[in-house]
Amino acid sequence: MTYHDTLFIGGEWIAPSTSQSITVVSASTEEVIGSVPEAVEADVDAAVDAARRAFDDPNGWPTWSPADRAAAMERFADELDKRAPEIAKLVSAQNGMPIAISSSFEAAFPALLLRYYAGVVKEATFEEEHPHMMGGTTVVRQEPLGVVGAIVPWNFPQSLAAFKYAPALAAGCTLVIKPSPETVLDSVPLAEAAAAAGIPAGVVNIVPGGREVGAYLVAHPRVDKISFTGSTVAGRAIGEVCGRLLRPVTLELGGKSAAIILDDADLDLATIGQDLFQATLLNQGQTCFLGTRVLAPRSRYDEVVDTFAALAGSLKIGDALDETTQIGPMASDRQRDRVEGYIAKGKAEGARVVVGGGRPSGQDKGWFVEPTIFADVDNNHTIAQEEIFGPVLSLIPYTDDADAIRIANDSDFGLGGSVWTRDRERALGVARRVQTGTIGVNHYLPDPTSPFGGVKASGLGRELSPHAISHYQQYKSIFA
């Protein structure tokens, strides 16, 4: 049981403006496991004011040399490492992520990103000179944007927060982070790590809350940039507000990616099983980039169906805190209802359930859904076009490579994807023609050194890679 009664604002743990709280329920047991104060508008004002003061301080974080910021970020990473087991357990207890996954992603990835961006900026100057075309010199500076509102989802709360704060800190920005109400307990060790690392007061502030708090932060007059990860519906609303305010925004949104199985693919699960699982069912489908549309050649369609049926049927379902669990529960009862609603739509539209389709036996508590494989799916079916965010795969037949590419591109989304084949050059040829921001060959795993983000309804802008720092900066030209 983890109970907190203060908010981390301005480098201190302060009393919230009201007695409202967010009660957290375990996705695996449906039992209350803790609570934190729920921020309201007055708390957001206080957090933004603290971030503003830290940014405007003549000796504050933006004025530090990149090397000094890098050293502080490395200390921050060290403090997160000390809290890694606690963070992994808190995330898994809240959202149902299997502990084996949270230990790799949620507990390790944030520190990795902090050290990566510290390394990127350690020797940087963010200033260069070149000859002015009309004579003299132009000095071009990359200056931090200011106060960043970072809105983080519940599926990978620590990793996706780090996608935002690591490059923002490297750029010299200050932050107000709003975690999702489903995953707020893990924000406490994050704040503790920042304080222990000596990150200056007001550089990192955390305001747990729901949609209303997020909307208030997005429109706040003293915020300079918004970085959001979440649904496309919410992203459109945020984009509209930022457009009216002429406020920079990064939107990492939904996906309905295609896993394209070419006709020469190796389908031996002993060889590809782990990679196939990570690319299609990781975190019980609660992962934005997963290839939940599996495109299979008609010449091997039955074989592909059998392969995915065997994969889904082999996965161990259980409590998220069990080290052997591969499929945990949905993050909330609302999310389980959503997934079950899509399963019902799939059946109603004529798709065939090969494996799963219900709740697993022996799980009397927790918001569990069986890994579900649909065969005989048409790409126009609802389950092939809308993001389900659960352990549900749609197997769609195609005739040749050109047809597979056409089907892959027949989607409102374009975030991830994968191509499975024994021929690397053929895979690259297919991958280049798929309309998506990222795509893997015989696996899928984002690379911190490469841009990550989507096209079409999957978002605007990019995260990760050295380029992400520039999304938290603005250019200034000085004509000397």
Q: Distance between the two ends of the chain, CA-based, in angstroms?
A: 61
| Other C-beta atoms lying within 10 Å of the C-beta of residue 121 | 22
Structure tokens at 397: 């037949």
Q: How far is CA 303 from CA 156, 299, 300, 395, in A?
A: 33, 9, 5, 11
Burial per residue of 133-160, b for 16 or more beta-carbon CB atoms within 10 angstroms, e otherwise? eeeeeeeeebebbbbbbbbbbbbbbbbb
Q: Which of 201, 152, 253 is nearest to 51 (CA)?
A: 201
Q: Is 74 a catalytic residue?
A: no
Q: Which of 161, 148, 143 is nearest to 66 (CA)?
A: 143
Q: How far is residue 21's CA from residue 4's CA, in Å, rounded to a whole number?
A: 9
Q: What is the identity of the amino acid at 353?
A: V
DSSP assignment string, 194-222: HHHTTPPTTSEEE----HHHHHHHHT-TT
- Please report where in the chains the tokens 């107000």 appear, as a residue: 176
Q: Is 30 a catalytic residue?
A: no
Catalytic residue among 38, 173, 288, 370: 288
Residue 351's φ and ψ, nearest 5 degrees, are -75, 155
| Other C-beta atoms lying within 10 Å of the C-beta of residue 56 | 13
| Contact (CB, 8 A) for 53 and 45 | no
Catalytic residue among 252, 340, 387, 463: 252
Active site members: 252, 288
